[in-house]
Structure 1
Amino acid sequence: MKLVIVDDEPLARDRLRRMVAEFPGYEVVAEAGNGDAAIRCVREQLADVILLDLHMPGLDGLQVARTLAELDVPPAVIFVTAHSEHALSAHNSHAAGYLLKPVRRDDLAAALARASRPSRAQVAALAGLDMADTPAYVSARTREGIERVAVGDILYFWADQKYTSVYHLSGELLIEQSLLALQQQLGSAFMRVHRKALVARRHIVGLRIDSRAGPLLSLRHCRCSIPVSRRRLAEVRALLEN
């Protein structure tokens, strides 16, 4: 995840940068000391998350957030401020998090975890989908009742006999829907790479050829590799090259 840190106080930026460095999977790609520079950095770096000070000279954090919200794929915004009276305005802006200075490590970790889960709008924008035609959740019957997982959190589906496993950011579920039915429901956000596998396009990060196992796909947030059938190989390569 690419992060931009925005604060008019250099010491505050330094502290946040050191804290972010403690969490794997996050990279601070730019820093800014004012709102105009923040907007420029996010656009240039295609940042996923912005840690944004609310109270700054010139454009304040709320104004920056409103401008960034107009991007095709806006970053997740985590507000950081020393002024607790701004909390209501920050929460009303649909931010991914609100942190009060001095920022606590656990609070930052929780906010980053929330920001790492893309909104439905972001998933739709990345996949070029019409949100109205795409379900927001996949539901499964469990011993506790009905559990549902957000489509944006799903890494891949794996079919095995009569059941399909749903592998997502928080674990695994079993459903009875076929891969074909899921592919029709979810559209181009997911790619069929094998007769048993349907993967989220946005999580595909690499392809390698194993001398024994054949083509294997690497997914973000996933330790295992997904087999790719020979007939699907050209399509996967084209996606990665583009």
Structure 2
Amino acid sequence: MIDLHCHVDLYPEPASILREVDARGTHVLAVTTTPKAWRGTRKLVGARKRVKVALGLHPELVAQRYGEVALLCDLLPEARFIGEIGLDGSPAHRSSLGLQQEVFERILEASAKLGGRIMSIHSRGAATLVLDGLERHRGAGVPILHWFTGTVSELERAIGMGCWFSIGPAMFQSKKGRDLASRMPLKRVLTETDGPFARNGRNAIMPWQAYDCLEGLASLTGGEPEELKQQVQENFRSLSTAL
């Protein structure tokens, strides 16, 4: 099982989540929302080999936590993964979009100077701006567009740029999400949950439920769920050696 975008530290009982991750042999990328949370999450995760911690500054928090971008750049040499980063152009966060772009550009530039990182990227309501930034900083690393909600033309542009995509059960709750997932190249698809924010009814989706989306994807692509599991695992191995 592979969950390439999960906020482990924000579950009500993260230590319990990690024990269950261990028991199930789940691979997790634990993204963080601020650089100050990164070291705490690393301490929480400890020596677990299947759980990696990504250094992040969530675009929704940039208006309040802009000053932490300097800390993120200082910590970047210690981190192989960056996330959650990106831009959010939804109505609730549109007023800070200019500041978000400054932060995103600075992170991409810093990553490029270090030879690139594997990046989990938020692009809600701002996919074109995210792709513009990635084009300006081609050396920033391997971009994984998490829970992509852009247009079909933006998706096609992202595919042409070599972006990867992480999809999860919550994405399949909408027709648009299913349509976008069906158009993604299977060799660049990974699974995620975005837990605990993404939910199945009243319940937060758990890291070991990331593959719950594969049956839906199989029905859209004409494949078999077991074949898709193998493809995701192969993709994960390819990603692990990308940088």
Normalised to the residue count of structure 1, the TM-score between the two structures is: 0.30
When Rg is computed on C-alpha atoms for both structures, the one with the higher figure is 1
Normalised to the residue count of structure 2, the TM-score between the two structures is: 0.30
Q: Larger helix proportion, structure 1 or 2?
A: 2
